[in-house]
Amino acid sequence: MKIGIGNDHAGFPMKKELVPILESMGHEVIDYGTHNDERCDYPVYGEKVANAVAVGEVDCGVLLCGTGIGMSLVANKVRGIRAAAVSEPYSAKLSKMHNNANIICLGARVIGIETARMICEEWLGAEFEGGRHQDRIDLIMAIQDNQ
């Protein structure tokens, strides 16, 4: 899969460890920055990855900030994005199976790299179940369309 990855300064150290892990799983990783640990604004990088996913430049996205929360708030502003902030593998798997999350957001100050690896494995390996879950996603998207 082609994965877009983005982060702020808080997520930068984890990205350095996570990119080779994702590549070793056979994925291509496109890095949208930031590329160092100087303080920066997470919305800038969250938007870049969310847009890349929304237009199909990449298949899905991984966003890293201190908690994962800021990045999820940003990404979910972009039409067509379903970003899930998760801190354990079970929710990661269900975020794909039930919510068809196309971006996963990780808190680099909350979880360690092994948990991040397990989250990515579960999420990338899971399949969306469709059916009633698609109906619910359609309801979510309708909220956006009705704004």
Is residue 120 among the annotated active site residues? no
Which residue's Cβ lies closest to ligand RB5? 70
Instruction: Give residue 108's Cα distance to chain centre.
Output: 13
Give the residues lining the site for ligand RB5 (CB under 6 A): 8, 10, 42, 65-67, 69-70
Q: For residue 114, give Cα distances in angstroms to 11, 52, 54, 67, 89.
A: 15, 27, 28, 16, 11
Closest distance to ligand RB5 from the beta carbon of 10 (Å): 4
Distance of closest approach, residue 55 Cβ to ligand RB5, in angstroms: 24
**65 is an active site residue:** yes
**Shortest gap between Cβ of 28 and ligand RB5 (angstroms)?**
26
CB closer to ligand RB5 out of 3 and 65: 65
Instruction: Point out the residues that are catalytic.
Output: 65, 98
